[in-house]
Amino acid sequence: MKKFLNKPENFVDEMVEGILAAHPDQLAIVENDLRCIVKAGEKKKGKVGLATGGGSGHLPLFLGYVGQGMLDGCSVGGVFQSPSSEQMLNVTKAIDAGAGVLYIYGNYGGDILNFDMAAEMAEMEDIKVLSFAAADDVASASRGEEGKRRGVAGIFFVYKVAGAKADELAPIEEVKRVAEKAAANVRTMGVALTPCIIPEVGKPGFTIGDDEMEIGMGIHGEPGIHRGKLKSADEVTDTMMSAILEDLPYERNDQVAVLINGLGATPKEEMYIVYRRMDQILKEKGISVFHVYVGEFATSMEMTGFSISLIKLDDELKQLIARPARTPFFEQVQLSV
């Protein structure tokens, strides 16, 4: 295991300590618990609180989206493990500013269970909570079974849209509505070339041949839909784009935003070679592009691979995506619309 770490069992806590030390004006903890992260500074009275949570090992997911114009709090699990419902509750209580708290998280069993429990406990403390599980990975279940899909990088768009709406002091039902609308319009597919190693496990979660790729693999190494010889960047992109475009479907005259997300070890050079082909395909299909994000938005530590996400935009979604945001991991000025 070739990683820069001290004791594997301290991996998550030391990571959080480093993040807090680096960005003390932006992030803080509550209940003296390194696994309960909130936005630093005063709460804005009457603003819906936005919380997420999930396993570690996916930076910037999940805590990296706590900040201005995005989320208010995040509970932090062990590597690839759900945080506890108590941690979620502590974050909830800390960020509630009288307008309720919306949970937005990825569609995984452990997270659903714990967020549901946290919501029940919060309601008993008179905090209104609504929940929403993002499920954008088209490789993880077929059409008609969208509710079984895993949440992956496309949740970035859900955070962005909900964060901008909450900043308008919109009521919680409205914030949830735009989050659901964003999620309904986003589709993602990934491809992996190498596994990653959970520090406390010390060896890869799966093996893959030196000349192989796996299309559709999840961000915890969940099986994909096709394992085979590594093809060219254009061929891989064609396969993934076909699956995504047909799924919603995305059609002529649609406008989209694009996210090419590195899983950890894939260089930006290669991601832009992928975008080159995506751009050709989108032009052929008559689909216009509002904005392109390229970088690491939802990783699997040192996994080699990337995912593509598209979100179909109407005017409302476009305006919300265009808003400025600032977290320690993501900065955006107001985009022109």
Q: Would you say 131 or 332 has its CB closer to a second copy?
A: 332
DSSP states along 115-173: HHHHHHHHHHTT--EEEEEE--BGGGS-TT-GGGPPP-TTHHHHHHHHHHHHHTT--HH
Write down the residue that tokens 């396969």 correspond to.
239
The neighbour count for residue 304, using CB atoms within 10 Å, is: 20
For residue 280, give the H/E element and its range: helix 268-285
Closest contact distance (angstroms) between CB of 320 and a second copy is: 18
Closest contact distance (angstroms) between CB of 29 and a second copy is: 14
Active-site positions? 58, 220
Q: How far is CA 10 from the centre of its chain?
A: 24
- Strand 73-79 with 33-39, pairing: antiparallel
Rounded-to-integer distance, Cα 250 and Cα 256, Å: 9
Q: Would you say 100 or 262 has its CB closer to a second copy?
A: 262
Write down the residue that tokens 């305006």 correspond to.
319
- Tokens found for residue 231: 């093809």
Residues of the shown chain interacting with a second copy in the complex, contacts defined by CB under 8 A: 2-6, 11, 14-19, 21-23, 25, 56-57, 59-60, 64, 193-194, 210-211, 230, 232-234, 236, 258, 264-276, 279, 292, 294, 296, 299, 301-302, 304, 306, 324, 326, 328-329, 331-333, 336
DSSP states along 208-257: --TTEEEET--TT----SEEEE---HHHHHHHHHHHHHHHTT--TT-EEE
Q: Would you say 16 or 161 has its CB closer to a second copy?
A: 16
Residue 116 burial class via C-beta count within 10 angstroms: exposed 0-12, middle 13-18, buried 19 and up: middle
Q: Do the Cβ atoms of 111 and 82 come closer than 8 Å?
A: yes
Closest contact distance (angstroms) between CB of 244 and a second copy is: 17
Buried b vs exposed e over 162-172: b needs ≥16 C-beta within 10 Å?
A: bbbbbbeebeb
Q: How far is CA 110 from the centre of its chain?
A: 16
Q: Would you say 126 or 211 has its CB closer to a second copy?
A: 211
For residue 263, give the H/E element and its range: none
Q: Would you say 140 or 299 has its CB closer to a second copy?
A: 299
Rounded-to-integer distance, Cα 90 and Cα 106, Å: 19
